[in-house]
Amino acid sequence: MCGLLGLVCPSELDADAARSAVDAALRCQRHRGPDESGTWADRGVIFGFNRLSIVDIAHSHQPLHWGPVDAPNRYTILFNGEVYNYLELRADLKREFNLKFATDGEAEAMVAAYHFYGPEVVKRFRGMFAFLIWDSHRQTLFGARDPFGIKPLFYASGPGGMAFASEKKSLLALGRTLGMSPRLDKTALQHYMVLQYVPEPETMHDTVRRIESGTSFTVTPDGTMTMNRYFDPIFRPLGVSQYESGRLHSDIAAVMRDSVAKHMRADVTVGSFLSGGIDSTAIAALAKQHNPDLITFTTGFERQGYSEVDVAAESAAAIGVKHVVRTVSPQEVMETLPLIIWYLDDPVADPALVPLWFIAREARQYVKVVLSGEGADELFGGYTIYREPLSLAAFEKVPGALRKAMGNLSTKLPEGKRGKDLLRRGALTLEERYYGNARIFRDDQIKRVLRTFTPGIGHMDVTAPHYRASRDWDPVTRMQHVDLFTWLRGDILVKADKVTMANSLELRVPFLDTEVFKVASRIPLEEKITKETTKYALRAAMRDIVPAHVLNRRKLGFPVPVRHWLREELYEWAVGIIRDSATDPFLDKAAILEMLEEHRRNEIDHSRRLWALLVFMIWYGIFVEGRIRPQVPEPHYPVRL
């Protein structure tokens, strides 16, 4: 797990100045790879790398050079992530081409495989990755991002060239070299207000974009960039009669055992996050089979009802692992949030990233790699909202005009009135109402606070292509499909990568594996959602693996008491952020303060909307105003083992 930075630049560019700029920009992401750094330059390209040594620690330094016998060092690779089937890949290359390797790691196998198999090689890689390969003979750059978007890859271009990086802040630091002047993207801001994250490929800066998940690309000598989607997560659910349940459950258990086994490959100690749900518990239980000394980590808050510490501790005892708990106070949240947002690059208004940051920091004192349960809900049908098509089925039988009237009636009901949201959502089609797990601001609510609100910009700009691609599927599977392209890669995986790498900790997600997806994509609807539970097939498959008290427990994750904090401990802090912010061109601060008072008086629960606004204001203070300057610590992790 590392941080990469690549600049493809015109040959007439001042090479010394450009390399100096790359060196400086590389330091912005030193936390991603504190073990060693290196830069390399050739005609038309400069590569920089920060390494977090996980596999083949003594070798596999990057940038890594490779070439066939007749053209040694033809290729240079930068690689962030893990390819878990690299041993099998190396064996194939040795058998087919009689290759000998100078290292024992993944990067050399990847670049050699690219030489022999071409761009389609990305379909052979099983893992999480973002990489760049420079071909000095053809003067071309080839790169790709993993199928689900676990690892990030940003890019920007200007008269000074085209640059790619693991973190956006490195590209912003290269702004002068590239000749670009980033500005706040108003469309991205409006999307953020609705979704609580900036959807791919956008970022909050108009000149910086993201390579999308499951996409490869080529940059030719004339600067032309072409992209290719090499992975589409297509669900093909079988009917119950086509797939015997017992076989399905055994297939799920088998592929999860295999995935966790491969995700345990490392030359350093691997631990596991553990909450109170089935996903992380299953991962930890399977990991324990490979590491008898496994350590698990969880976090919680002192407020009752907002902690899974007790359940996680019970699970850890049942599995038989050492368990570490980190409790977070409201004071720590106020003090640390600006630093967390600096690491994020773009605002993400998911409160769960706060406890995740603290437990990542704690875990890094014991291990260098952790496993986690992200992706299980999207693949196996785990979110409670996936049951909504069942609860709204009656509305589908109502004539269109009457449904519209019901929607109009919902607007006349007071905010917070029971049944208001049911009527509103029942009057809408699936495409209109569902855009992921976070629903922050509706249009009528955005207009109250967003001065730059533009009618016509909405969630369907983001979701429409994915609904078109899934038009013949059942509603639940369509929701899963949309989430893979929106909620998962925009929120879940962003916070997972950013806050763990902020602490130089590698996070691995065994559920998000292409082999696991092959099995999950065939699960019949009846084996996902029932009247009693979600993720039915996964729960059945894990019956002999996870403790009984977790098997059918409702998912909580790492709940955060933001609703209470904004009425109590964080109220004055929130007032100060709002008043000090220079976001007046975009936000109506008087309206936001009024929302805060309504929330404090317990009239309307504005907590998630207020949190989204506060996170954006802090982000703006850091990346636009430059007024907020978090003290970024040097990577230092005393190991407690």
Catalytic residues: 2
* First vs last C-alpha separation in the chain: 22
Residue 244 to residue 416: CA distance in whole angstroms? 45
Instruction: Please name the residue that has the structure tokens 């049908």.
Output: 381
Query: Please, what's the b/e burial string for 235-272 (b: 16 or more CB within 10 A of its CB; e: otherwise)?
Result: bebeeeeebeeeebbebbbebbebbbebbbbbeebbbb
Helix (H) or strand (E) holding 357: helix 353-363
Residue pair 348/364 in contact (Cβ under 8 Å)? The answer is no
For residue 557, give the 3-state DSSP assignment: coil
Do the beta carbons of residue 301 and residue 332 sit within 8 Å?
no
- The helix or strand, by DSSP H or E, that contains position 250, with its residue range, turns out to be helix 245-263
| H/E stretch holding 346 | none
83 near 129, Cβ under 8 Å?
A: yes
List residues bridging with 299 in a β-sheet: 326
CB contact at 8 A, 514 and 259: no
Q: Residue 514 to residues 237, 282, 318, 379, 392: CA-CA distances in angstroms?
A: 16, 18, 30, 11, 32
**CA pair distance 441, 591, nearest whole angstrom:** 14
* C-alpha to C-alpha distances, 71 to 113, 262, 367, nearest whole angstrom: 15, 33, 40
Question: CA 89, 93, 98 angle in degrees (round to 5)?
Answer: 155
From CA 311, how far away is CA 549, in angstroms rounded?
8
Contact predicate 136/42, CB 8 Å: yes
What is residue 86's three-state secondary structure?
helix
Using alpha carbons only, give the angle 626, 635, 46 rounded to the nearest 5 degrees.
Answer: 75
Residue 226 — φ and ψ, nearest 5°?
A: -120, 140
Give me the numbers of helices (H) and strands (E) for the chain, helices first please: 29, 17
Contacts of 328 (CB under 8 A, 6+ apart): 299, 300, 301, 354, 355, 358
DSSP per-residue codes, 427-471: TS-HHHH-S-S-----HHHHHHHBTT--TT-STHHHHHHHHHHTT
What type of residue is 254? A
Residue 148 makes CB contacts below 8 A (sequence gap 6+) with 128, 213, 214, 233, 375, 484, 488, 489, 493, 512
Eight-class DSSP state of 212? P
> How far is it between the farthest Cα atoms of the chain?
76
Cβ 637 vs Cβ 364: under 8 Å: yes
Q: Which of 529, 538, 534, 540 is nearest to 555 (CA)?
A: 534
Token reading at 12: 């007439």
Nearest Cα to 478, choosing from 372, 543, 388? 388
Separation between Cα atoms, residue 479 and residue 435, nearest integer Å: 8
